Structure 1
């Protein structure tokens, strides 16, 4: 098997682990909260459980949790959103660390340390609510370096026309979500919520051992790659990837319109995606009234569809590029439109589905699924703009794109505080739809995916080139003077 194919699988699972520890608490929190009884001692039932649904007896089997934590909606959303409070701070450092120390160390240690923190969460929860929040903040801060660091590996390993397919491995994150929700749901149902944390932590440690064995920062460092594959990769990426480490042209990067368009589109797309990813278990449980196992399964299915859509759209995108049916810019615009505009329409449908469990599930699956095109759109576009500074650019994009991680839970907490109704959740989905439409339209109008002039460091090296040119001219003048002096001596 080709070394870069093995790399795809290990990276794929790595992103699954990354998201497993990012979102496991979204479903586990449902099992941690005490079910508050009403005045007559009965369990409050959501408005939707009294209406007709194709999911018969959807409240049957719901366990009344008499022990647990009495955290209200605002406290719960602090826990859900705290992961992202400092997550954005390490986006740019993640890219720069990868350039100096390599993706193998940065991405690997980021995931591994996150796993170790997961083992500590149950103890923190029993100790103090604030300690739990602190651990989630720390976890988010550490894992913030993971995503931008991976683009450095992609730039060093993957030929330009194979990037869409390889970047689809990033969507292992979606498979991680798809498996984590039902896994945690079943573990909580069979054992307890503490066991769910320990299970996900153990899985992450096993992955880290495989990562250390199979992954290397460049083809040249890989001890088991074939000479033919190494030569092919080096020839393909050598056209746009500079071997020497260049200084980052910060001014050009920060004033780059194409990069800002990627960041804006990612901000909108991630707002929609995070809103659905973080809040789905709560929405299914509190509004539609489903038990923990069904909540876990139906919360995970949309993310499986996201990965499938990502893989399919990546194949289509690479085909369009290889056959030159569409320009690289138009391929990226097509994919980004799916992440924003199409997702917006699906969430609008979710908002209007009300208590219809069938429609809510279908629109949820579709809304999350179409975001899979992010691997062929914004994520691939970052490498297109500048292979040499891809990790740094992804850090900048991630800095902006991860803001919805803590902003969205605050909005949801404000709109649904002590009011878990379909009408209030409809407002959440309307806000999300508006954000997706605006950001998607901006990218379609102003976005592009061409290699930028500053990718080769020409502007940052401009001063050095001038100095070299002056030194060269002075040398030539010196030679002319010496030659003239010699001629005068000979003549005399």
Structure 2
């Protein structure tokens, strides 16, 4: 989010573009005419829209290429070390983005690509931590609380990033948030451990509780992968396709929500930024509540694990599909449209405790690899969905939005049907320790 927020200031300053270190002094007189303030102008670059698009996409280049390899590597090394090193690398490189921009756009693209590799390592490895730390009846809430940080981080940058760019200058967006990331990585190493048995501060009661809860779970990583069995596994495919279909509408919203608010509802850009932040806040809260609801249903033996996964996925797909299809019909009212969008994001967040975490049920031994594989499907959706949406809008601006929402609903529901038919919640034979068939 940092570059997305800072980019308008990087290419659209209030002063004409000058040398990279250009600065300007602005005199501000108080009542006595004695106050003088010096304000240093951040450098401005002549990047055309094509270059800007490549810069914004370069993070995804690294993430896409490294998704599957990082998932495999995460199963071979200690996740604690991998996550800490990746977080420190990602954050430290953020501090050098202003220097890279000054050196040239090619270096900036390379730096952002490396950040993408580090970012995907964190996303794949963190699930291996929960395999060892999260008792089955607490796993959903622990995972969703950690996942909600993605929304909280985006919300924070969206609210604060523009202010920092306007007051201190756009480089401080990278300095401040990069510094926060470095501080977090310094806290990570002494506080995070791969296994409760190795943690020096955990109480004996908590360690024994986790050990008893996970005693029957076969979660030791395996260096060999049963590729043939994975390819033939319909339960695995149901989860992977859900990653693609359920992220479709999310990526459409992330790419075109400000455009929709501005062009259809005639909301100014400043207000659309605030409304976008509001929706991210709703998603942040809803993800956590979804995890709490899943564990409540499981701990009270109200529903089985498979029914919980299918129920939350059904609500998280059908509700937003319905309200998104209705959006063109309520475009006359900003209030009703925002209410529908809130319902869409709030209910779609339930999928985080449904189909999107189902891979941990069927193959805990291969959590890192399958998470990396699922990120590929999610990122493919992030590439295809905005592209198709842009095509619809280029054909007909008015009917384009209706077609976008209809297609999003159709894609989402098709993935739901496949998941309801083929999903399972027990460890598959190919994911057990005694599996002999390898490829």
TM-score tier after normalising by the smaller chain length: 0.7 to 0.9
Of the three residues 150, 159, 177, the one matched with 1:173 is 150
2:172 to 166, 171, 195: 195
Q: 1:376 aligns with which of 353, 375, 384?
A: 353
Query: How far did residue 70 of structure 1 move?
Result: 5.6
1:299 paired to 2:276: yes
The Cα of 1:442 is off from its aligned counterpart by 2.0
- Given that 1:84 and 1:403 are in contact with CA atoms closer than 8 Å, whether structure 2 keeps it comes out as no
Structure ID, larger Rg: 1
Q: Out of 199, 210, 217, which is 1:240 matched to?
A: 217
Unpaired segments ≥5 residues, structure 1: 1-22, 36-66, 463-492
For residue 87 of structure 2, what is the aligned residue in structure 1?
Answer: 111
Q: 1:121 to 1:452 in 2, by over 3 A?
A: same
Alignment partner, residue 473 of structure 1: none
Corresponding residue number in structure 1 for 2:312:
335
Write the distance in 1 (CA, Å) between the matches of 2:392 and 2:104. Answer: 26
Q: 2:64 aligns with which of 75, 78, 88?
A: 88
Q: 2-side partners of 1:311 and 1:244: how far apart?
A: 28
Q: Which residue does the alignment assign to 1:162?
A: 138
Whole-angstrom distance in 1 between the partners of 2:63 and 2:259: 23
Hey, what does 1:151 align to over in structure 2? 127
Superposition deviation, residue 384 in structure 1: 0.8
- TM-score normalized by structure 1? 0.74
* Structure 1, 305-314 or 213-222: larger mean CA deviation: 305-314
Greater Cα offset, 91-100 or 158-167: 91-100
Determine if contact 1:26/1:281 at 8 Å carries over to the other structure.
no
Residue aligned with 1:402, SS = helix
- Structure 2 distance, partners of 1:456, 1:104, is 24
1:135 maps to 2:111: yes
RMSD (CA atoms) = 3.2
Where 1:84 maps in the other structure, the secondary structure is helix
Distance across 2 between alignment mates of 1:27 and 1:178: 11
Q: Aligned pair in 2 of structure 1 residues 436, 207: CA closer, same or farther (>3 Å)?
A: same
Q: CA deviation at 1:282?
A: 5.1
Q: Do the aligned partners of 1:189 and 1:293 also contact (CA within 8 Å) in 2?
A: no
In the aligned structure 1, how far is the partner of 2:369 from the partner of 2:398? Answer: 41
Aligned to 1:441: 417
Query: Are 1:110 and 1:145, in contact at CA under 8 Å, matched by a contact in 2?
Result: yes
1:29 aligns with 2:7: yes
1:322 is matched with which residue: 278, 282, 299?
Answer: 299
Matches within 5 A, 1:323-402: 323-354=300-331, 356-402=333-379
* C-alpha contact (below 8 Å) 1:95/1:149 kept by paired residues: yes
Q: Which of these residues, 151, 163, 177, is aligned with residue 186 of structure 1?
A: 163
Residues 409 and 164 of structure 1, relative CA distance in 2, 3 Å threshold: same
Q: Residue 134 and residue 155 in structure 1: after superposition, are their counterparts in 2 closer, same or farther (change >3 A)?
A: same
Shift of 1:423: 5.5
**Structure 1 residues 79 and 371: alpha-carbon distance in aligned structure 2, compared to 1, 3 A threshold:** farther
Go from structure 1 to structure 2 and tell me whether the alpha carbon gap of 1:204 and 1:329 turns closer, same or farther (over 3 Å shift): same
Deviation at 1:217, TM superposition (A): 0.6
Partner residue in 1 for 2:243: 266
Give the length in aligned residue pairs. 411
> Take 2:324 and 2:87, find their aligned partners in 1: how far apart are those partners?
31
Specify which structure has the bigger relative contact order, considering alpha-carbon pairs within 8 angstroms and separated by 6 or more residues.
Answer: 1
Q: Aligned partners of 1:127, 1:369: CA distance in 2, in Å?
A: 43
